[in-house]
């Protein structure tokens, strides 16, 4: 199964490993203010290598169980973003939830769109999913543009859906149907 992808001449999308904890913690510190409006309130431990080691250990167990795929975007050895498929459900549902972010210094270059499109293709071809879903805060128009460019359609709005930046926030819900194959049918 091929999960890693080359996105641009200098950006790689790679499945996270425990060895990436320090680089991810550094990216979280560097992007702390940039991500704060779009993320849950984080403990100080979140911004440490030890905190990320704990988180990655748990995530990698879920990865081995095929429940999640955690990717980091690398520019050399530097983490410059992340894309995650969570709550992967096999069988007749064949669905997963998508989350992503891009480093503040690389915004506006199409990197989020490229990464989301690559993950959608992997979800279809390698993970054999039928659909992926995503949510955005109502005011996150940049993320909504990324999803629309990648073939997602808005399917609803959910009041008080996620606890982000310390309050319950309303989100727009999106999905992308990847294929109409029956479960078990070849890609």
Express each pLDDT in 35-80 by its tens digit.
999 999 999 999 999 999 999 999 999 999 999 999 999 999 999 9
Q: What is the average pLDDT across 74-99?
A: 96
Instruction: Look at the block and give the residue holding tokens 């169980």.
Output: 65
Spatial contact of 101 and 35, defined as CB atoms under 8 Å apart: yes
Helices 49-64 and 21-30: angle between axes, nearest 10 degrees: 120
CA 160 – CA 173 distance, rounded (Å): 12
pTM for this entry: 0.95
User: How far is Cα 91 from Cα 178, in angstroms, rounded to an integer?
Assistant: 15
- Model pLDDT, residue 27: 98
Q: What angle do CA 9, 10, 16 make, to 5 degrees?
A: 120
Q: Percentage of the chain surpassing pLDDT 90? A: 95
């Amino acid at each position: 199964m091929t999960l890693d992808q080359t996105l641009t001449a200098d950006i790689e999308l790679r499945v996270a490993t425990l060895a990436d904890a320090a680089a991810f913690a550094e990216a979280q510190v560097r992007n702390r203010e940039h991500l704060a409006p779009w993320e849950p309130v984080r403990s100080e431990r979140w911004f440490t290598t030890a905190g990320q080691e704990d988180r990655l250990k748990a995530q990698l167990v879920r990865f081995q169980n095929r429940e999640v795929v955690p990717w980091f975007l690398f520019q050399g050895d530097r983490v410059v973003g992340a894309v995650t498929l969570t709550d992967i459900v096999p069988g007749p549902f064949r669905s997963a939830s998508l989350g992503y972010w891009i480093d503040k210094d690389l915004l506006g270059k199409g990197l989020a769109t490229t990464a989301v499109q690559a993950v959608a293709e992997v979800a279809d071809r390698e993970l054999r999913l039928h659909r992926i879903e995503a949510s955005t805060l109502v005011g996150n128009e940049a993320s909504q543009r990324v999803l629309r460019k990648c073939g997602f359609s808005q399917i609803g709005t959910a009041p008080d859906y996620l606890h982000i930046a310390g309050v319950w926030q309303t989100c727009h819900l999106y999905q992308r149907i990847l294929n109409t194959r029956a479960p078990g049918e070849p890609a």
